[in-house]
Structure 1
Amino acid sequence: MSNSSLHITGGKDLPGFHNMLGYRQVSWEEDEAVIELEIQADHLNLGGVIHGGVLTSLLDIVMAEAGTYCPYPGRMRKAITLSLTTTFTGQCTGGVIRVTGRKRAGGSRIFNSTGEVHDEQGNLLAIGEGTFRIRSGSEKPEGVPV
């Protein structure tokens, strides 16, 4: 796990499903987040290409992050997914994929984000759009303790 991932989660390993996916936080700032995943055999479907569920999960994570940046160490902001749409546009069997999420609009509690997944050659593998709700306590930039 990269130092940036450890910093973002207050020096602790990512919890549960996030850890199982095995992604690395590349960047996280106001309105944008980027993660990468080195594709492993466990990420592939029966056809030998990255599973759509993995792509959708990564899009969900990065799009929620795009609207919940917290610059305060030891604290975080949380959101829940209200809706999520994924469109698959390509396939990939290995290498590193990059997933970028951008907050596009929103108010004090509800926001919308878009996301893209690209392979190492820059080919678009999937696009996503989601609507998220900021959880109670996470409305302000300082969020809640980790």
Structure 2
Amino acid sequence: MSTQETDFIDGKDLPGFHSLLGYHQASWEENEAVIALELQPRHLNLGGVIHGGVLTSLLDIAMAQAGTYCPYPGRMRKAITLSLTTTFTGQCSSGTIRVTGRKRAGGTRIFNSTGEVHDDQGNLLAIAEGTFRIRSGSDKPEGVPI
């Protein structure tokens, strides 16, 4: 990955909500993306554990990335979420969580992914599945300029 691309996906230059979450890219390859987040007080709900909206957002991002890998520096592929189902299976309030998205099936424009969130002890916090649509211009491997 180029420095520009690394900065972009590590949250340094991410727009809006992505920057607010504060995650970083642990790995990204064809059909699989892993992002990590060091929990901060802003990620917790009133009960003092990670907010379900944070978990769902991170799952959405990682699962979309799983179907939009782009190996070309300075370029990216984009997708929009058509459906997303999340099941919460655990909770935590500190440490670093890892979110893995895996593309499972798909055609030229629509794909399906699954996702899992684990805490730093390996406990499963949430699972998800979603359907995504490749945005115009992103259907080719070279994607669009960042």
| TM-score range normalised by the length of the shorter chain | over 0.9
Identify unmatched segments of 5+ residues in structure 2: none
Q: Does 1:64 align with 2:27?
A: no
Paired residue secondary structure (1:126): strand
Letter aligned with residue 35 of structure 1: I
- 4+ long deviations beyond 3 Å: none
Root-mean-square deviation over aligned CA pairs? 1.6
Whether 1:132 and 2:143 are equivalent positions in the alignment is no
- Kindly state the Cα deviation for residue 80 of structure 1 after the two structures are TM-superposed: 0.2
After superposition, what is the alpha-carbon deviation per residue over 1:69-111, rounded to whole angstroms, capped at 9, x for unaligned?
0000111000000000000000101000000000000000000
Alignment partner, residue 6 of structure 1: 7
Q: Which runs of 5+ in 1 are unaligned?
A: none
SS of residue in 2 equivalent to 1:129 = strand
Tell me the number of residue pairs that the alignment of Structure 1 and Structure 2 aligns.
143
CA distance in 1, matches of 2:6, 2:53: 22
Write out aligned runs for 1:14-25 (5 A).
14-25=14-25
Residue 84 of structure 2 corresponds to 84
Three-state SS of the structure 1 residue aligned to 2:93 is coil
TM-aligned CA deviation for residue 7 of structure 1: 5.8
Q: 1:143 to 1:133 in 2, by over 3 A?
A: same
Deviation at 1:15, TM superposition (A): 1.0
Local SS of the residue matching 1:47: coil
**Identical columns (%):** 83
Give the aligned residue type for 1:32: E
